[in-house]
Amino acid sequence: MTDAPVRIFRNKVHGRRRGHKLRPGQKSLLETSLPVWRLPVEALEQQDPRTLFGRPVDDVWLEIGFGGGEHLAWQAAANPSIGLIGCEVFETGIVTALAHVERQQLDNVRLVTDDARLALEGLPDASLGRAFVLFPDPWPKVRHHKRRMVSPRTLDQLARTLRDGAELRLATDDPPYLRAMLALACVHPDFEWLARRPDDWRVRPDDWPQTRYEAKAIAQGRPPAFLRLIRRSRT
């Protein structure tokens, strides 16, 4: 196999990769468990993603920026026939997600620890049944807006990789970022926003669990918005 060309993104969409120094137990988890669950982005370019889980799965869902992994683990446990690919670069979040996966023995989870945009570019067309971009970094300074994950380029890639009728879920507690999501995602020609009344974006569906980040935002007076969009038919 020849080496794949290295793709470099000019704008970062994430901050630091490391936070506080890991405790010995966390470091051990990272060293012993991550090789088991880690998915190299190169693997996405070489085969149907449904074959990447060690057992048959009916569909594959993608979470971009899984934070501490609570939502990823909940979805994996609630949907054992679905393969969940989670993307995250922050070391502490990766370790926390590994703890969830190990404790629940979620064999339908794989973790990408590289830039999520590489995973998106590597995925085949119409290969995903659902995608999540939940509470991404809002990059509030105007000069940093180009780093936001919800961007025209990312939405185009999501439209390419989601099959017809697949769902894209977005969430944020940042009002300016919400306006940007509405201006970009909800008018994108390949997506249909499902909201018909205010509760459709103010209230989470039953199959959308609360995360620690969401609870913190609510406690600090920042009510989240939950956007659900459907990939329009290509025909």
Catalytic residues: 137
To the nearest 10 degrees (0 to 180), the angle between helices 91-104 and 24-37 is 70
Residue 23: CB atoms within 10 A of its CB come to 10
Give me the half-sphere count of Cα atoms (radius 13 Å) on the Cβ side of residue 67.
16
To the nearest 10 degrees (0 to 180), the angle between helices 70-78 and 91-104 is 30
The secondary structure element, H or E, covering residue 154 is helix 152-161
Do residues 127 and 23 make contact, with C-beta atoms less than 8 angstroms apart? no
Q: CA 80 to CA 108: how far, in whole Å?
A: 7
The secondary structure element, H or E, covering residue 166 is strand 162-172
Q: CA 105 to CA 103: how far, in whole Å?
A: 6
